[in-house]
Amino acid sequence: MSVVIVEKRERHAVLTISREKALNALNGEVLAALIAAMADLEADGAMRGVVITGAGEKAFVAGADIAAMRDLKPAEASAFAAEGHRAMNAVAESRLISIAAVNGFALGGGLELALACDLRIVAENAKLGLPEVTLGLIPGFGGTQRLPRVVGRGIALEMILSGDMIDATRAAQIGLANRVVASGSALAEAEGMMKTLSTHRSAVAQRAARQAVYEGADTSLAKGLEREIDQFANLFKSDDPRLGMGAFLEKRKPEF
């Protein structure tokens, strides 16, 4: 059975990391399968979003595979790191909206995968953290960069330097979790949210807004505001503004 299972719904897919015995830890096989699955979804015009979760009740993803990493030679470590970044970027740079359904442990590379997603729905029983320093490592799949961008530098440094896990309530307090939901219902909640985001909302506009948000985080306010103007103007190359505003004026819901 594949270590990454893809189930396509009408407008979104559920992508499940499936190595339950190793708490869905990310080895080379999972990273390659994740990259391939994202490429397939990217090319499927019917797809607007992806929900990423982990198999079983216990873990989203408990990290990069420690057993696979321990004896890496430098060249192999470099190849593993590159594959990891390709996998995270396949999610973060996708045209698809991504939601992590965090159904249990999201540690190390697992939290980094959740951070590569746009949104995170976190189950009450989940524990999240970047424990790499306790293994003599640093977060290597984007955690040092994406976590501070989501929760701010001080809180991110506290998590990275301590390696301590936080619970779902704390994750919501610091803005890491968009929502905390009952144990066992993260996937259903994430899919519900994805359906909402894919209905009566313009994918073209969502992409433009999302790009403006991400680009703005890496630049000055003035440049970010300029990018917002560009994105706004670009939208009018598509039919969606006319469709959306036309529907409003005709007092009906828009279908994009």
- Catalytic residues, by residue number, are 112, 132
Q: Which of 190, 58, 210, 209 is nearest to 114 (CA)?
A: 190
Which of these segments, 130-138, 149-157, 178-186, 195-203, binds ligand DAK (CB under 6 A)? 130-138
Nearest alpha carbon to residue 113 among 137, 94, 135: 94
Residue 99: phi and psi, rounded to 5, are -125, 130
Q: Which residue in 180, 118, 125, 170 sits closest to 149, CA to CA?
A: 118
The residue range among 17-25, 28-36, 150-158, 167-175 that interacts with ligand DAK, by the rule CB under 6 A, is 17-25
Give the range of 18-26, 148-156, 189-197, 214-222 binding ligand DAK by CB under 6 A: 18-26
Could you give the string, one character per residue 24-63, with x where binding to ligand DAK holds by CB under 6 A and - elsewhere?
A: -x------------------------------------xx
Minimum CB–partner distance for residue 70 and ligand DAK (Å): 9
> How far, in Å, CA of 210 to CA of 218, rounded?
13
Residue 89 binds to ligand DAK (criterion: CB under 6 A) = no
Count of residues of this chain found to bind ligand DAK when the rule CB under 6 A is applied: 22
Backbone CA torsion sign across 254, 188, 22, 8: negative
User: Residue 82: is it exposed, middle or buried by C-beta count within 10 angstroms (0-12/13-18/19+)?
Assistant: exposed
Site membership for ligand DAK, residue 86 (CB under 6 A): no
Least separation, in Å, of the C-beta of 91 and ligand DAK?
A: 15
> Which residues sit at the interface with ligand DAK, rule CB under 6 A?
22-23, 25, 62-67, 81, 84, 105, 107-109, 131-132, 135, 137, 139-141
